[in-house]
Structure 1
Amino acid sequence: MDRIVVVGASLAGVHAAEALRQAGFDRSLTVLGAEPHLPYDRPPLVQASVRQPPAPFDLRPSQWYADHGVTLLLDRVAVGLDGANRYVALSDGGRVEYDGLVIATGSQPKTLDAGAEHVVTLRRLEEASALRHRLSTVRHVAVIGAGCLGLELAAALSRRGCSVTVVEIAPAPLARVLGDEVGTWFRELHERHGVAVRCETLAVAVEKAGRRYRLHLHDGDVIEADLVVGALGRYPPSSG
């Protein structure tokens, strides 16, 4: 095997490349990344969205890839795979041939069916930067989803002085993972710090209303906010 291609400049993708070198693979090794940046760690994106300037969180410095003979093809989206002819098709019309393939494309954020264009997601560095720049004019933020991302973002925004409302379909935050009792503890913790948490509530649509947004709930209630952030979970991507 002379050529291995890793699709996805994610944490898993970089670790796969590192593991291949540690295992003794010394031939051509290429990592494809859809973003123009060096591969970075995504969990700190919440802090990057509220901190100015954000702390750097590259997974490896650029020299690491050179030292280990790893070719980075950044800003290239993989859109197809030809298993018979062994190549990955790229969005720019190019292709990358391989003998061995690792798919580490991660996931895409879920969003609403109605008004998705008005919902901010937080998966990419550009999204964190855009959110950070908007916060100077934001007073009230609605967060859809009370998982780890939603709760962390709500806490960070509250510390920044924003009024925050979190909407969650489950009986308590993180209930599916930690159970109702621990989830209730997290809910009460956030409420003590000024975050409004509405559980057993389904967000159904977002509409623009002048300079603000209206988040419509299944029970007919409407939450008005300067910004709506989606933290509804993730699904496998169709490209990477």
Structure 2
Amino acid sequence: MAHFVIVGAGQAGAALAAKLRSAGFDGDITLIGEEPSPPYQRPPLSKAYLLGEMEEERLWLRGADFYAENRITLRLGQPVTGIDPVARHVTLGSETLQYDELALTTGSVPRRLPATIGGDLDGVYTVRTLADVDAMRAQFQPGRHVVIIGGGYIGLEAAAVAAKLGLKVSVVEMAPRILQRVAAPETSDHFRALHRAHGVDILEGVGLDRLLGEGRVSAARLTDGRDLQADFVIAGVGILPATALAELAGCALDNGIRTDEFGRTSVPHIWSAGDCASFPHGEGRLRLESVGNAIDQAEAVAANMLGANQPYLAKPWFWSDQYDCKLQIAGLNTGYDRIVTRGPTGAAVSFWYFRGTTLLAVDAMNDPRAYMVGKRLIEMGRSPDPALVADTTADLKGLLK
């Protein structure tokens, strides 16, 4: 009987295993994760879970009985230490597992602050795993001061939670503006104003020189010479694709594990999906860090492992929750040269990214209708008249006709 092994028990790994079974695969499936918890949602970690509004079991993607009922063997808390692509086996400690097909859904790892600037001091945290958040939860006490390094979505979500819990919050972003890598100035302006309205100190255009402290962090020295007192520090400086196992197996890398349009790596019988995978997109390549891509790509790869031979066509979408603001993003804004603003109408506003007359992406704040219409238009390859987008008296759904 065929044995399919999946290394990486996150969103992509869980989706791939479930899809294999629902698509009719009757062989053995083993899902291996280095964390001790069953596959769980990561987005709520920096939101509801950190706030104490969600218990761990509610993070789980599936109930414990799902895996048993679907004959999916979970090997948790067992990191894979080796892959032999010739013998087709993976190594877990002193044990080897044979595979017929192997999928790498190893996800990503957070960038850490270097030890040379104090990144190894106690009281310095990242936000990626359940263990990361469990380790820092006790620090979130009213009146304490947290310094967050990095003004991307993870850093801003952590800042929102800390502010809601009554902490003093400073966000340090070395770029000229928060969200510069991922969003237009209009979106940056919206969230800067939102955070400052909640008492968060947003420091832009200044970097971290080093962290200070004897054993435990006590302050952050900035590149302009200022020292910020810090009871603890959160590093939100991005993530990197987890490619160590793929490299060990001889898989080609290209900003992640390089795959073809079907999810195959350069090594026979090894596939990849999720945050760690780089795949063809348009005239270039793309690696997406999102729940939507993890699920969609994993399901496409599962079907291709069973012979579907269907290229994966990404439909990017993302979201972020901060305070009472829900940001929903459709599309990819790379290469935009114009922003069209719709609103604000009450708390709702949306920013539409165009390149020439072509709609690329939409950032919608508390505006699910704008998000859904924009997403549909992008997926259909249609671009609306920018004047109609900006006209709040015009019916958005009419743009789909």
Tell me if TM exceeds 0.5. Answer: yes
In the TM superposition, 1:13-52 aligns within 5 A as 13-46=13-46, 47-51=48-52
Name the counterpart of 2:111. 110
Name the counterpart of 1:73. 75
**Cα pair 1:108 1:234 within 8 Å, conserved:** yes
Q: Distance in 1 between matches of 2:209 and 2:245?
A: 26
In the TM superposition, 1:104-143 aligns within 5 A as 104-113=105-114, 114-118=117-121, 119-136=124-141, 139-143=144-148
**Cα pair 1:171 1:180 within 8 Å, conserved:** no
What's the C-alpha RMSD, in Å, of the aligned pairs? 2.0
Shift of 1:65: 0.4
Name the counterpart of 1:160. 165
Q: Distance in 2 between matches of 1:115 and 1:11?
A: 32
In the TM superposition, 1:167-186 aligns within 5 A as 167-186=172-191
Structure 1 residue 216 corresponds to structure 2 residue 218: no
Question: What TM-score, normalized by structure 1, do the two folds share?
Answer: 0.92
Specify the code of the residue in structure 2 equivalent to 1:4: F
Describe the superposition over 1:46-80 as per-residue Cα deviations: whole angstroms up to 9, x where unpaired: 23223177352101111110111100000011122
Q: Distance in 2 between matches of 1:138 and 1:131?
A: 16
Structure 2, unpaired ranges of 5+: 247-401
Shift of 1:120: 0.4
Structure 1 residue 149 corresponds to structure 2 residue 154: yes
**Cα pair 2:142 2:165 within 8 Å, conserved:** no
Moved more, 65-74 or 182-191: 182-191
Say how many residue pairs are matched. Answer: 239
Name the counterpart of 1:193. 198
**Cα pair 1:146 1:231 within 8 Å, conserved:** yes
Q: 1:154 to 1:164 in 2, by over 3 A?
A: same
Describe the superposition over 1:15-60 as per-residue Cα deviations: whole angstroms up to 9, x where unpaired: 0111111221110000001011111101111232231773521011
What's the secondary structure of 2:62's corresponding residue? coil
Shift of 1:186: 0.8
Structure 1, unpaired ranges of 5+: none
Percent identity over the alignment is 38
TM superposition outliers: structure 1 runs of 4+ over 4 Å = 209-212
**Cα pair 2:142 2:167 within 8 Å, conserved:** no
**Cα pair 1:213 1:228 within 8 Å, conserved:** no
Shift of 1:106: 0.6
Q: 1:204 aligns with which of 181, 203, 209?
A: 209
Q: Distance in 2 between matches of 1:79 and 1:207?
A: 36
Q: 1:112 to 1:204 in 2, by over 3 A?
A: farther
Shift of 1:211: 6.0
What's the secondary structure of 2:4's corresponding residue? strand
Between structure 1 and structure 2, the one with the greater Rg is: 2
**Cα pair 1:48 1:129 within 8 Å, conserved:** no
Specify the code of the residue in structure 2 equivalent to 1:49: L
Shift of 1:224: 1.4
Specify the code of the residue in structure 2 equivalent to 1:37: S
**Cα pair 1:138 1:226 within 8 Å, conserved:** no
What's the secondary structure of 1:101's corresponding residue? strand
Q: Distance in 2 between matches of 1:76 and 1:210?
A: 31
Q: 1:209 to 1:185 in 2, by over 3 A?
A: farther
What's the secondary structure of 1:14's corresponding residue? helix
Question: What TM-score, normalized by structure 2, do the two folds share?
Answer: 0.57
What's the secondary structure of 1:176's corresponding residue? coil
**Cα pair 2:163 2:169 within 8 Å, conserved:** yes
**Cα pair 1:166 1:196 within 8 Å, conserved:** yes
Structure 1 residue 228 corresponds to structure 2 residue 230: no
What's the secondary structure of 1:143's corresponding residue? strand
What's the secondary structure of 1:178's corresponding residue? coil
